[in-house]
Amino acid sequence: MKERPYQICSNCVMDTSDPQIRFDENGVCNHCKDYLEKLRKGALTEKEKKEKLQTILELIKEEGQGKEYDCISGVSGGVDSTYLTYMLKQFGLRVLVIHLDNGWDSELAVKNIENLVTRLDFDLYTKVLDWDEFRRLQVAYLKASVLDMEALSDHAIFATLMDQASEKKIKYIINGANLATEGILPLSWRYDEKLTDSTNIKSIFKLFGEGYLRKFPLLSLQRFAYLTRVKKITVINLLDYMDYHKDESKKIIQENLCWRDYGGKHYESIITRFYQGYILPKKFGIDKRRAHLSTLVASGQLTREAALEKLKEPIMTPEVLKQDLEYVPKKLGLTKSEFEAIMNLPPKQHHDYPTNRKTRQFLFSLNKKLAR
Ligand SMILES: [Zn+2]
């Protein structure tokens, strides 16, 4: 990667730590523009939002008639998914709550999820990953030096949601992803195809992993196409049709579900905290808070000055970092020096290893032909 002079957006707080960032003559970055464009495209008036939400809810209820559940909601224990699931209850939907237990949940996350399902009287399905296998897979990702370590859990939860929807004949998966708080995230900071690229996972494991991969939930692009096209399973980002404000939502779930704060975005999971607080900044030069804060600035929920102030704080407190540095490598079965050696390997792209790009292109062109 060639060095370029440091520059920070004059509107948000994104900077050249995204190597692909571009600035216009006023110093405004492409993320601000893309985000506003996305918001504008999806922009609905209050009334339109309400109507659209109403239509979707009716559709979901109609489809759920005679079945045990109307929809599925994947829950991490974080604000977005907890608030969304709370709202689904208010809408009168019968929800199957699904959680992925990857072995890294904080105690508080387990408690928060327990409170959620008890208070809302929803059924909970917990998919527990085989720890030893998942440990070997994570170590393989670390050794491969690919950026998006979280891709593994994101893939596993998505594959589980899809599998359960198919098995229990539930047509709708309600997702907590939303434009209001998650709009900006540079392509260079994530692996975009992670939810449906089982090829990338399998090939990285084959090159760097020990033993076999047998139980990990995998979703191939072909299966995804089958489930969404033939079985008509639909993923809906419902928060986009609601007035979603993070702080207010937090208050609501605190009051109604006894939900307790983790003290940091994604701190519900120890590995996510360590990945975003240590591995990403140290090995890849990325501070993910920059993207989250920029989204809040661009959507008018936070001033740029306040975002800059927040960035001055350390990502993790020294005590938590010290604790995680002891705990995480040990739990992964790595000695301190093995972990250090891995941290010193040069960063790689997911595309440096086999991906399902060809299948993707094929299905895409097929889709185009069919649409004609
Ligand atoms: Zn910007």
Question: What's the whole-number mean pLDDT along residues 68-73?
Answer: 97
Residues within 5 A (CB) of ion ligand 1:
9, 11-12, 14, 29, 32
Predicted confidence at residue 264, as pLDDT, reads: 66
Query: Ligand 1: distance of its center to the CA of 187 in Å?
Result: 14
Question: What's the token pair of residue 362?
Answer: 């094929």
CA distance 267 to 259: 14
With a CB cutoff of 8 Å and minimum separation 6, the contacts of 293 are: 12, 13, 302, 307, 310, 311
Query: Ligand 1: distance of its center to the CA of 25 in Å?
Result: 13
CA distance 307 to 147: 25
Predicted confidence at residue 290, as pLDDT, reads: 96
Query: Ligand 1: distance of its center to the CA of 33 in Å?
Result: 7
CB atoms within 10 A of CB 141: 22
Query: Ligand 1: distance of its center to the CA of 298 in Å?
Result: 8
Mean pLDDT score across all residues of the chain: 93
Q: How far is CA 149 from CA 47, 276, 292, in A?
A: 40, 10, 18
Query: Ligand 1: distance of its center to the CA of 294 in Å?
Result: 7
Question: What's the whole-number mean pLDDT along residues 53-62?
Answer: 96
Report the share of the chain in percent with pLDDT over 90.
78
Query: Ligand 1: distance of its center to the CA of 309 in Å?
Result: 16
Please give the helix or strand (H or E) that residue 237 lies within, else none: strand 234-237
Confidence of residue 72 (pLDDT cuts 50, 70, 90): very high
Query: Ligand 1: distance of its center to the CA of 247 in Å?
Result: 23
Query: Ligand 1: distance of its center to the CA of 11 in Å?
Result: 5
Q: How far is CA 51 from the centre of its chain?
A: 28
Question: What's the token pair of residue 49?
Answer: 């939002």
Query: Ligand 1: distance of its center to the CA of 310 in Å?
Result: 16
CB atoms within 10 A of CB 261: 13
With a CB cutoff of 8 Å and minimum separation 6, the contacts of 311 are: 13, 287, 289, 290, 293
Query: Ligand 1: distance of its center to the CA of 242 in Å?
Result: 25
Q: How far is CA 250 from CA 21, 77, 99, 258, in A?
A: 32, 12, 20, 11
Query: Ligand 1: distance of its center to the CA of 10 in Å?
Result: 7
∠ CA(339), CA(145), CA(17), 5° rounding?
110
CA distance 289 to 115: 28
Which residue from 332, 334, 338, 353 is spatially nearest to 204, judged by alpha carbons? 353
Query: Ligand 1: distance of its center to the CA of 23 in Å?
Result: 8
Map tokens 């809040």 to a residue: 296
Map tokens 């692009």 to a residue: 221
Query: Ligand 1: distance of its center to the CA of 81 in Å?
Result: 27
CA distance 211 to 206: 9
Tell me, what DSSP letter sits at residue 277?
Answer: I
Query: Ligand 1: distance of its center to the CA of 262 in Å?
Result: 28
- As to burial, measured by CB atoms within 10 angstroms (0-12 exposed, 13-18 middle, 19+ buried), residue 291 is buried
Query: Ligand 1: distance of its center to the CA of 13 in Å?
Result: 6
Which of 36-50, 81-95, 164-178 shows the highest mean pLDDT?
Answer: 81-95
- As to burial, measured by CB atoms within 10 angstroms (0-12 exposed, 13-18 middle, 19+ buried), residue 318 is exposed
Question: What's the token pair of residue 133?
Answer: 């296998």
Confidence check: pLDDT of 111 > 70? yes
Query: Ligand 1: distance of its center to the CA of 295 in Å?
Result: 9
With a CB cutoff of 8 Å and minimum separation 6, the contacts of 123 are: 69, 96, 97, 117
Query: Ligand 1: distance of its center to the CA of 19 in Å?
Result: 14
Name the residue type at position 99: H
Query: Ligand 1: distance of its center to the CA of 304 in Å?
Result: 10
Query: Ligand 1: distance of its center to the CA of 153 in Å?
Result: 29
Predicted confidence at residue 267, as pLDDT, reads: 75
Q: Is 146 helix (H, G, I), strand (E, B) or coil?
A: strand
Query: Ligand 1: distance of its center to the CA of 301 in Å?
Result: 15
Query: Ligand 1: distance of its center to the CA of 9 in Å?
Result: 5
Predicted confidence at residue 371, as pLDDT, reads: 76
Predicted confidence at residue 240, as pLDDT, reads: 86
Predicted confidence at residue 45, as pLDDT, reads: 81
Predicted confidence at residue 2, as pLDDT, reads: 58
The answer to whether 81 touches 73, Cβ cutoff 8 Å, is yes
Predicted confidence at residue 68, as pLDDT, reads: 96
Question: What's the whole-number mean pLDDT along residues 323-334?
Answer: 96
With a CB cutoff of 8 Å and minimum separation 6, the contacts of 146 are: 191, 204, 348, 349, 350, 352, 353
The answer to whether 349 touches 144, Cβ cutoff 8 Å, is no
With a CB cutoff of 8 Å and minimum separation 6, the contacts of 108 are: 77, 260, 262, 268
The answer to whether 102 touches 133, Cβ cutoff 8 Å, is no
